[in-house]
Structure 1
């Protein structure tokens, strides 16, 4: 590992040269000193990481499945207890994060749309201000980074795969063998160590695929939790009474997950073939050696399930599926945690830690069995809320806890303010710096949310809503007209829709007024436009990156040839 001189040591060394080099060199050193004081930024984002599955938040999983390296960021800096998204869906969340704007402004409201890379983003403005920029890992905004001012990029194709993924670079596409989380880590360290321009501050986007569906752990972690029994949420067998949209969803773990693709259940005792799997090409990417290692890890557990399935009740099978889901989901997070540890270790070993902002977050939250669900989409707390941890030793006190409500549209103004770069126009987000350093207790009094992707996979209805410090109001408006209201202090698990409870009539009226104010503040188009919107008319071609870089497959969907651009 290369160690680079930074900070005071670097400046002292260059000052010695100035005495021999004249006024021009002295000016260069002064400029270099300014550059050294500008913070570096490493923005680490995973995909579908539930707050419950990050041990810094102290959930019931903290001791069973700890994340000690991600927790280091909270110990070194700030943990946000009320961090939320604007739309709990992968692509729209990324677009909001990049721009600091809601989807109706940045043009990306649901997966399948194409992000407009020509618009303002914080990464572009940092590049214009002299930052060395890079993006490594998952991209998932349905377009190559055209318009993004990236000095270096290596991106996963579309969703990416856990094993042997395709990588897209400016030179084309190629397949690499290995485990994707580890590859993202190695490519990140390589860029930091070998490829970045050390004369400039840097901004690095490091985006993991994990722990997105279908939760395939690294070979070293396929057995990590095989004997662990995880606590089952007391809402796991929710009947969704009083919540019509919740009744109509198709993301109930024990009803709607694929037994093969998601849960790796096999067809019988002694068999290795998965059951239902509508995306068999993902497993087909594995080498024979990887297949053997995988089968060896799961065979005994699958044989036990197959031998007992006929005698189990529906409830017993539902509980077995929950344990299998959690074992794999949490195992994929271990590799992400290891990755974060490697990055933090590198920064510390190379004198970069104090002046580098390290962010860890997810594109949204995720259900770990609450209400019986996996996936996200709803404005209910588990998917609306997302983990957020930030360290910046030069400015953030270790162990800071931020209780103020923030959203992912706030990242852009925060990064630019830390870097001393002017914010561009029409941003919806607000800088988080004052709530981080304690100058103000509350960044905003209420949050606006809007989910658009229906009809679509998982069948979660279109809805928008507002949340303040205690209450939440939601409106499901497409093919229905249902309202939901929750007192989060008395009903934190959102089991009792109190929209018709006269006790809350005043609060409901107040939140409807606040909702109208937020719509006006954020220039939300009239609801009639969203009611009439046809998703098919607004989608870009499916799998755009595959279209740009097509592949040839054999009959078993194994890649046999990669066609470069």
Structure 2
């Protein structure tokens, strides 16, 4: 009898191992795994960084490894390069003109506008949790959400759709912040162990370690790194001493007479200014080391529990960041590629290794992508499109244009993106980005046009010489996109 039980146990173990093999290779093996068993919904880990530009990926070895193992979207565009509008778009799949979150602060933006307008009740979190997912957000939520500002004895607010919640909007220093931990306001200080990116890493690993195959999860880890004031973890504070900001063609641009009036007041950046840019860039490089380590810790936790075989990992940023391009010392808010074109890299089961997708993708596409992966039908009111076909090796009929919006200039000194002198603070504009063109219309009447095939760094504004038929065509497309919603956005963006 004991012998029969022993053989039965061995046979069962073999069958379990064989079934495990059906999920495919783990990320540690450097290959995309096969899809999970039929009916098993995949897990999703979404690592969202803050102001992370493409030039920082070169300094992140684990993110570079993701590029080898998965799919890189090389033309992923942020539809607004301010934190709060971009993050509201990511959550809802809708352009800023449809979320009504246009700025970081009330009355035209911030968490307050997102909450009061009802957008918070219709996000990928609400739909995924309703479909049976265990959802969690860790880190940055939306500007204005402050768990420290609650009445004594009252719970900190937790938005709908989140099964677990460890969030704040005031962690820019990475120290001295308050997290709402499932409704309880918890204060962190300035000890090395309080460094926010590391705290988020620990909470993310704990979340994974409490997960099972019985219920799928969607985990969004949202760092404040590498947003200013560029505070690295102590262990990274002295690394990369010789690194300098990239000196591309747009760095300290020689002639900006063709640029709009708001840029004309800035002289060329002098040697002291360039040294400051280099020092701050080193701070950004140092900051993302902890983000890269966070990624590695989550990958290891997934692998240790055998969850890696059925988990998609999505790495991205809410917007880019300029450092010296077009004489703008630092910041964001422009429609130039350094601010709007950001990393999006995906690994997971069945994803082709090393694939680069050049099609225009946008932050409106993340919600429908997560929903399709989870077997959730996306509402027709969503403006974006699912990227899942690209993750499966296809090249579907796709959009030809993307709307970029910006409501400015920023006037509130309390805004974390309030610009210093020479940073750049553009007035309101709307732009349309095609595969090879960038066309802008400022509310004040000025225009910009760049042929990105010939001029990828946007050095020569040729709006004045753009043939009238093409100008009128782009202007009409821009007007259509600015007024679109849902299906009409997906119809308009197929034009170019």
> In structure 2, the residue corresponding to 1:500 is in which secondary structure?
helix
Listed one character per residue, the Cα deviations across residues 299-331 of structure 1 (whole Å, up to 9, x for unaligned) are xxxxxxxxxxxxxxxx22122112211111111
- Specify whether residues 335 and 514 from structure 1 end up closer, same or farther in structure 2 by C-alpha distance, changes over 3 A only: same
Give yes or no for contact 1:409–1:430 (8 Å, CA) kept in 2.
yes
Match of 1:189 in 2: 205
**Contact residue 160 and residue 166 of structure 1 kept, 8 A:** no
Matched residue, 1:379: 335
Q: Which residue of 2 aligns with 1:454?
A: 409
Unpaired segments ≥5 residues, structure 2 = 1-12, 21-35, 148-156, 412-417, 420-424, 488-496
2:464 is matched with 500
Q: Aligned partners of 2:273 and 2:475: how far apart in 1?
A: 39
After superposition, residues 26-175 of structure 1 pair within 5 angstroms as 37-55=40-58, 66-112=59-105, 113=110, 114=112, 115-116=114-115, 118-143=120-145, 146-169=158-181, 170-175=183-188
Structure 2: distance between partners of 1:383 and 1:54: 15
Cα drift, residue 447 of structure 1: 0.7
Whether the 8 Å contact between 1:166 and 1:173 is mirrored in structure 2 is yes
Contact 1:404 1:435 in 2 (8 A): no
Counterparts of 1:154 and 1:366, CA distance in 2 = 26
Deviation at 1:105, TM superposition (A): 1.6
| Distance apart, 1:183 and its partner CA | 1.1
Q: Hey, what does 1:556 align to over in structure 2?
A: none
- Give deviations 1:331-372, integer Å, cap 9, x for gaps: 111211111111112222221112111100000111132223
Output one character per residue of 1:372-431: Cα deviation in whole Å (capped at 9) or x when no partner. 331111111111111100112x22111111111010000111111111111124110011
Show the counterpart of 1:554: none
Q: Retained in 1: the 8 A contact 2:172–2:229?
A: no
For residues 350 and 523 of structure 1, what CA distance do their matches in structure 2 show? 39
- Alpha-carbon offset, residue 67 of structure 1: 1.2
Distance 1:118 1:376 in 2: 26
2:247 to 228, 232, 236: 232
Deviates more, 1:228-237 or 1:398-407: 228-237
Please give the alpha-carbon distance, in whole angstroms, between the structure 2 residues aligned to 1:431 and 1:233.
33
Compute the displacement of 1:168 (Å). 2.0
Separation in 2, partners of 1:401, 1:523: 27
Q: What does 1:403-442 correspond to in 2, within 5 Å?
A: 403-442=358-397
TM-score with structure 1 setting the length: 0.70
Q: Distance in 1 between matches of 2:460 and 2:245?
A: 26
For residues 157 and 173 of structure 1, the distance between their equivalents in structure 2, rounded to whole angstroms, comes to: 13
**Given the alignment of the two structures, is residue 202 of structure 1 paired with residue 217 of structure 2, yes or no?**
yes
Paired residues, number:
425
| Preserved contact between residue 137 and residue 221 of structure 2 (Cα < 8 Å) | yes
Runs of 4+ more than 4 Å apart = 10-13, 32-35
**Does the C-alpha gap of structure 1 residues 230 and 212 become closer, same or farther in structure 2, counting only changes over 3 Å?**
closer
3-state DSSP of counterpart to 1:411:
helix
CA deviations over 1:166-215 (Å, ceiling 9, x no partner) = 22221223224321111111111011113x46521001110011000110
Question: Which residues of 2 match residues 363-374 of structure 1 at below 5 A?
Answer: 363-373=318-328, 374=330
**Cα 1:129/1:34, change in 2 over 3 Å:** farther
Please tell me whether the aligned partners of residues 70 and 354 of structure 2 are also in contact (alpha carbons under 8 angstroms). yes
Q: Tell me if structure 1 keeps the 8 A contact 2:172–2:228.
A: no
Deviation string for 1:268-301 (max 9, x for gaps)?
xxxxxxxxxxxxxxxxxxxxxxxxxxxxxxxxxx
Where structure 1 has 5 or more consecutive residues not aligned to the other structure, the ranges are: 1-5, 14-31, 56-65, 255-314, 525-565
Aligned-residue offset at 1:7? 13
* Superposition deviation, residue 157 in structure 1: 4.1
2:45 and 2:359 mapped to 1: Cα distance?
23
Structure 2 vs 1, CA of residues 7 and 189 (structure 1 numbering), >3 Å: closer, same or farther?
A: farther
Larger Rg: 1
Q: Distance in 1 between matches of 2:96 and 2:286?
A: 32
1:9 aligns with 2:22: no
Structure 2 Cα separation of the partners of residues 98 and 52 of structure 1? 25
Instruction: Tell me the SS of whatever aligns to 2:326.
Output: helix
What is the alpha-carbon distance in structure 2 between the residues aligned to residue 228 and residue 172 of structure 1? 39
CA–CA distance in 2 between the matches of 1:198 and 1:347?
A: 11
How far did residue 507 of structure 1 move?
A: 2.7
Residues 453, 11 of structure 1: alpha-carbon distance in 2 compared, 3 angstrom cutoff: farther
Matches within 5 A, 1:240-279: 240-247=256-263
Work out the CA distance in 2 between the residues paired with 1:249 and 1:376.
17
CA distance in 2, matches of 1:237, 1:147: 43
* TM-score of the two chains, using structure 2 as the length reference: 0.79
Alpha carbons of 1:159 and 1:174: their partners in 2 closer, same or farther (altered >3 Å)? closer
